[in-house]
Amino acid sequence: MMRSAALSAGGNSRGLQRLPSGWAIVGALTSLIILVPIGAVCVYLFTPASENWSHLVDTVLPEYIRNSLWLTVGVALGAGSIGVTTAWLTSMYRFPGRDLLTWLLLLPLAMPAYIIAYTYTGMLDVSGPLQGWIRRAFGLSYGEYWFPEVRSLGGAIVMFSLVLYPYVYLLARAAFIGQSVCVLEVSRTLGCSPWKSFSKVAVPLARPAIVAGLSLALMETLADFGTVQYFGVSTFTTGIYRTWFGMFDAVAAAQLSAVLLIFVFALILLERWSRRRAHFHHTTNRYQRLPDIRLSRGWSALAFIACLLPLLFGFIIPTVQLVIWALETYDTMVDRRFVTLAWHSFALAAGAAMVALVPALILGYGNRIHPSRAMRFFSRLSSMGYAIPGTVIAVGILIPFGALDNALNHWTREYFDMGVGLVFSGTVFVLLFAYTVRFLAISLQTVEAGLEKVKPSMDDAARSMGSNRAAVLRDIHLPILRGSLLTAMVIVFVDVMKELPATLILRPFDFNTLAVRAYELASDERLADSSTAALAIVAVGIIPVILLSGAISRSRAGTRPI
């Protein structure tokens, strides 16, 4: 969405031009604070390369690059095609079960990638029930029949695609719904087939949204550690971890992280280059109800199946497997402390969802009001946290807060002759900050998407009718933005529910979450025991997802805001 946000800011923001100019400073400060953890790790870059770097280049770096590249391409194709297809079908056509599928399709969002990886491995591995059945039923032994290996690069691509497509679905669907029907009608009257008007008109129009969804999915893929580690696929993330902690080489690890960031930048540039100067604007304000094309029976069935499959594989099957495991073990797993875990997870996720909105709004408005290259660059840069492995961010956060705490202690010791211990480190405050740094990309992109819907002409009209600035914000912007803000909060909420690496390193004493519990048991190779916590993550994550689905279908431009 970066392009279009920049465009609307550059072209259309006359009405807001005279908002306080201090905003630019606040925006720049916000970016800087968000960038501290990333910077804390990047300082290592200015130390000369160690001999470990040449070891990496000689042995494993080519493989890291190859695997990360294939993973990116594979997930882009997988999550992209699932997301766009389902979004198009559910927003343009009427078929039985559509209204239900519209929100059910979001559910895989609540499923952490490492959990789905564990469940599918449990089912499809050589010792799993399916292969066991094949061997018994046909009297074969291993090697006498073909079966795909789950723990492989291909397996990882499938896992990520299944749980990350909802990002694409969510944003693409919002874009399709927001498209002026006129454009589509014109394309049909000009003789386009339904396929052509989809591929030549609707998709290019929705392209910024699709790309935004894809970039979220890909950044999450690149930052993942749990899944690729379990599958034995060496990527940048596993490489960074191994170099940093196994070879004690922070410098080489930071250099790997830098290569990863360059990789992400390259992706973004490539996309922008391919779009070049083609921008799309809606020139009409005529919105009407979407056509709701009724499908024939055969096509209905196909559309239904196309929307059911991702749901089936991304949510229903793994959930059923988790339920089966949970039924075996829940009595030993659910106790009074389990309720505390759920509460911790919920409170952190809800808190982070709100906190992450603040810098997103500051930067989003900043970009709109005072568009400048520097501002745009900074807000892009502060979104990078999403592509950086959680462990790296966590260490990047430990460093400045640790320094601050130690400085405080030196000072109190000097003047009061006693240390105060840790004031910031190891508190919930630091955790919330970590989540904000990691997930700002999500709230920022969603807020920017929402701001685009606010046309400058609306501000002008309101101002000319005597509303002051505060009133414009309250009466015009807030109602229009509400859908987007809600979306941003829900996605951050669900992501924090699932977040593991930063939570693991930064959390306070005696403070566990559902994700920590699920990870501890799963990494101790007690999959069945971890299922109860995993299921609880999914269950708590579903609630806001349902709320969200209501909000998007009501937030179509041209309809009354909620």
Partner 1 sequence: MKPNSSRIPLASLALALASMIVGSAPVVAEDVVNIYSARKEALILPLLQRFEADTGIGFRLVTGKADGLLKRIEIEGEATPADIFITVDAGRLQRAKSAGILQSIRNPVLNETIPLHLRDKDSQWFGLSRRARVIFYARDRVDPEELSTYEALADEKWRGRLCIRSSGNIYNQSLVASMIRHLGEERTEQWARGLVANLARKPGGGDTDQLHAVAAGQCDLTLVNTYYFGRLLNSDKEKDRAAAEKIGVFWPNQDGRGAHVNVSGAGITRHARNRAAAEALLEFLVTPESQGWYAEVSNEYPVVPVAPISDTLRRLGEFKADTLNLTFLGENNKAALQLMDRAGWR
**Secondary structure of residue 93 in the 3-state scheme:** strand
Q: How many residues make up the chain in this entry?
A: 562
Report the alpha-carbon distance of residue 429 to residue 202 in Å, rounded.
Answer: 44
State which residue, 125 or 271, has the beta carbon closest to partner 1. 125
Q: Give me the DSSP letters along 382-423.
A: HHGGGGS-HHHHHHHHHHHHHHHHHHHHHHHHHHHSS----S
State which residue, 81 or 152, has the beta carbon closest to partner 1. 152
- Contacting partner 1 (CB under 8 A), which of 261, 486, 492, 542? 486
User: Contact region for partner 1 (CB under 8 A) — 84-92, 139-147, 197-205, 309-317?
Assistant: 139-147
- Contacting partner 1 (CB under 8 A), which of 426, 450, 541, 544? 426
- Contacting partner 1 (CB under 8 A), which of 138, 248, 377, 411? 248
Those residues with Cβ within 8 angstroms of residue 329's Cβ, 6 or more apart along the chain or in another chain: 528, 529, 531, 532
Interacting positions 491-530 with partner 1 (CB under 8 A): 501, 504-512, 516-517, 520-521, 523-525, 528
Using rule CB under 8 A, residue 12 touches partner 1: no
Contact present, 97 and 103 (Cβ < 8 Å): no
Interacting positions 74-103 with partner 1 (CB under 8 A): none
State which residue, 8 or 503, has the beta carbon closest to partner 1. 503
Using rule CB under 8 A, residue 380 touches partner 1: no
- Contacting partner 1 (CB under 8 A), which of 119, 221, 229, 237? 229
User: Does an H or E element contain 271, and which?
Assistant: helix 250-275
Q: Least distance to partner 1 from the beta carbon of 310, Å?
A: 26
Tokens representing residue 341 in the block:
């875990």
Residue (of 85, 100, 95) closest to 294 by Cα position: 95
Using rule CB under 8 A, residue 291 touches partner 1: no
Burial of residue 427 (number of CB atoms within 10 Å: 0-12, 13-18, 19+): middle
Q: Least distance to partner 1 from the beta carbon of 232, Å?
A: 3
Interacting positions 448-477 with partner 1 (CB under 8 A): none
Q: Least distance to partner 1 from the beta carbon of 454, Å?
A: 18
Residue 293 β-bridge partners: 93
Q: Least distance to partner 1 from the beta carbon of 338, Å?
A: 12
Report the alpha-carbon distance of residue 231 to residue 483 in Å, rounded.
Answer: 38
Using rule CB under 8 A, residue 251 touches partner 1: no
Q: Give me the DSSP letters along 480-522.
A: HHHHHHHHHHHHHHHHHHH--HHHHHH--TT---HHHHHHHHH
Q: Least distance to partner 1 from the beta carbon of 249, Å?
A: 8
Those residues with Cβ within 8 angstroms of residue 94's Cβ, 6 or more apart along the chain or in another chain: 292, 293, 294, 295
State which residue, 414 or 525, has the beta carbon closest to partner 1. 525
Q: Least distance to partner 1 from the beta carbon of 19, Å?
A: 23
State which residue, 204 or 232, has the beta carbon closest to partner 1. 232
Tokens representing residue 319 in the block:
């959930």
Report the alpha-carbon distance of residue 237 to residue 225 in Å, rounded.
Answer: 6
**Residue 100 CB: number of other CB atoms within 10 A?**
11
State which residue, 91 or 391, has the beta carbon closest to partner 1. 391
Contact present, 361 and 473 (Cβ < 8 Å): no
- Contacting partner 1 (CB under 8 A), which of 162, 395, 491, 496? 395
**Secondary structure of residue 352 in the 3-state scheme:** helix
Using rule CB under 8 A, residue 54 touches partner 1: no
Q: Least distance to partner 1 from the beta carbon of 368, Å?
A: 23
Report the alpha-carbon distance of residue 371 to residue 379 in Å, rounded.
Answer: 11
Interacting positions 338-377 with partner 1 (CB under 8 A): 344, 347, 350-351, 354
Using rule CB under 8 A, residue 132 touches partner 1: yes
- Contacting partner 1 (CB under 8 A), which of 247, 290, 461, 543? 247
Those residues with Cβ within 8 angstroms of residue 517's Cβ, 6 or more apart along the chain or in another chain: 338, 341, 530, 533
Using rule CB under 8 A, residue 143 touches partner 1: yes
State which residue, 116 or 295, has the beta carbon closest to partner 1. 116
Using rule CB under 8 A, residue 406 touches partner 1: yes
